[in-house]
Amino acid sequence: MRIAAVIPCYKVREHVVAVVEGALRHVNHVFVVDDCCPQGSGDVVRERFPSASVTVIAMRRTAVSWSHEDRLSCGAGGRYQILVKIDGDGQMDCDYIPALVQPVSTARRTTRRETAFTVGSTSR
């Protein structure tokens, strides 16, 4: 099962490299959504991760709405069966990704159009 992470980036320059590194331990690909970050978070990711495993998508300033509403386009064409949204500020522990995707990866769906999801929280 192929898994991709979607990481919105706005004013997260000091955290985003560690978040991408953490996500890459558990997913096949990372999409970084640069919402015109004034700190150049997307540029930092581009320089640090020139590999095919990380894609930086430059957007007009739309806040995190793109990653919430349109993130499914990253999985278009069936390349990724599971998409995980991770905040770029480091508040989410990427080592929880396997536990987060486990219910989705084992969910029984009767048609290809059905979806399953889980929601993680940083609250305790």
3-state secondary structure of 113: coil
- Domain 3-106: which topology? Spore Coat Polysaccharide Biosynthesis Protein SpsA; Chain A (3.90.550)
* Average pLDDT for runs of 10 along the chain of length 124: 88 95 96 89 93 86 52 59 88 92 76 62 61
Cβ-based burial of 64 (10 A; exposed 0-12, middle 13-18, buried ≥19): middle
pLDDT, residue 95, reads 95
Global confidence as pTM: 0.82
pLDDT, residue 59, reads 78
pLDDT, residue 63, reads 53
107 Cβ neighbours under 8 A, 6+ residues apart = 116
pLDDT, residue 76, reads 47
Domains of the chain by residue range: 3-106
Q: Is the dihedral of CA 95, 2, 46, 71 positive or negative?
A: negative
pLDDT, residue 68, reads 47
